[in-house]
Amino acid sequence: MSTPEQNKAVLERYYEECLNKGNLDVIYEGATEDHISHGTAANGKEGVEHLKEWVRLQRASFPDLHVTVEDWILEGNKVVSRFTARGTHTGDDYAGLIPAQGRKLEIPGIVIDEFNDEGKIVESWFSMDSYDLATQLGAFDAPPA
């Protein structure tokens, strides 16, 4: 059985290697094959491949993406991380909808990750203010005159 501290270490590696450095294969080390992700798609999506694709899309829009965890809460088999994501939108259209304009992004979020006894993430609940994100990226700006 994994300890809360071991579970936190899995997430620390995921944040640094996968999100911040783009080593997407780290996902396979930390999440189960049938991982369920809530908040990255409507109604939750299953599978580690969905999680990998979601991270790939974030990094494709924000090549300099850097996520800093501000707070950790460890409780039983769950770990909560309160983070701040920062980056510059110089890559792909965000979510296929918002074209890159070179804008800086700084947005907080929270993730609750649930681990199995082997220390792998089985389910994640992700929350971030999508309206704030879209506003920072210029989605609601008036078109040029």
pLDDT over 70 for what percent of the chain? 98
Residue 64 lies in a domain: yes
Give me the pLDDT at residue 106, please. 98
pLDDT of residue 34: 93
pTM for this one? 0.92
- In a domain? residue 142: no
144 found inside a domain: no
Cβ–Cβ under 8 Å, residues 130 and 105 = no
pLDDT category of residue 42 using cuts at 50, 70 and 90: low
- Per-residue confidence band for 44, with pLDDT thresholds at 50, 70 and 90: low
Domain annotation covers residue 33: yes
Total domains in the fold of the chain: 1
Q: Is residue 79 part of a domain?
A: yes
Residue 143 in any domain: the answer is no
CA 63 – CA 87 distance, rounded (Å) = 7
Q: Is 87 a residue whose pLDDT tops 90?
A: yes
Average pLDDT in the 42-68 region? Answer: 89
Is 31 within the bounds of a domain?
Answer: yes
Cα separation, 33 vs 28, in Å, equals 8
Domain with residue 52: its CATH number is 3.10.450.50
DSSP track, 36-72 = EEESSSTT-EESHHHHHHHHHHHHHH-TT-EEEEEEE
The DSSP output letter for 89 is -
Over residues 22-48, mean pLDDT: 87
User: Whole-angstrom Cα distance, residue 99 to residue 90?
Assistant: 9
Instruction: Tell me the mean pLDDT in the region 23-39.
Output: 93
Buried b (16+ CB within 10 A) or exposed e, 90-108: ebbebeeebebeeeebebe
Domain housing 40: 4-137
Evaluate whether residue 13 is within a structural domain.
yes
Residues forming a β-bridge with 95 = none
Compute the average pLDDT of residues 11-38.
95
